Amino acid sequence: GEVLGFSGLVGAGRTETMRAIIGADKMTGGEVFLEGKKINNKSPQEAMENGIVLVPEDRKTQGILANLGVGENITIGSLKKNSSKLGVINRKLEKEMEEKGIEDFKIKTPNAEKKIVELSGGNQQKAVVARWMATQPKVLILDEPTAGLDPKGRDEILGSIDRLHRERGLTIILVSHSMEDVAEYADKLLVMDGSELRYFDTPKAVFRHY
């Protein structure tokens, strides 16, 4: 139920660590525990089934599906959830999920059919977060969620993170090179510093350290 900031300089291995947690990259050491139970995610799909999802850093190549509309980008991660045992998609459930995602994240779009590439970067990012939130995760990992966004888009995304944390008690790992972002929104902070992992129970304390 906390926001854990995860920071460090570019190249420190932040993204690689998160990808290893969800099974996108092979782990060479360490263990992952969720709710006291050891898990071994062999793929992002398995991680999602265990309740851990990752919003990747590269929104354009790993986040959005450029040829699809806003609504489809939101529901694409929940096809199984919205389908019958025979694999027939329940369009009513999909429509409800699309509308909820657009409303919850205040995505500025004339309709759910609007091509996602025609939206601003901030609204594209909100749609990607809405996609993974629709899977009802236990842990939401956000890798550089404000990358490439203007100040308004940054505030909207981080504001949504703060709201999710407060309203739903969602556990969030906020990965960012920006000490300002994590100091403002994180409850606790881990900093990758060379071969060390430094812990701060008060994120603002990082400014006194560095």
| Best-predicted range by mean pLDDT (86-95, 109-118, 182-191) | 109-118
Mean local confidence (pLDDT), 166-182: 85
Q: How confident is the model at residue 175 (pLDDT cuts 50, 70, 90)?
A: very high
Name the least confident of 39-48, 101-110, 127-136, 194-203. 194-203
SS3 track for the chain: CCEEEEEECCCCCHHHHHHHHCCCCCCCCCCEEECCEEECCCCHHHHHHHCEEEECCCHHHHHCCCCCEHHHHHHHHHCCCCECCCCCECHHHHHHHHHHHHHHCCCCCCCCCCEHHHCCHHHHHHHHHHHHHCCCCCEEEEECCCCCCCHHHHHHHHHHHHHHHHHHCCEEEEECCCHHHHHHHCCEEEEEECCEEEEECCHHHHHHHC
Q: What is the pLDDT of residues 102-145, one digit of tens each?
A: 988 888 999 999 999 999 888 898 899 889 888 889 999 999 88
Q: Which residue has the higher pLDDT, 209 or 72?
A: 72
Mean local confidence (pLDDT), 147-175: 84
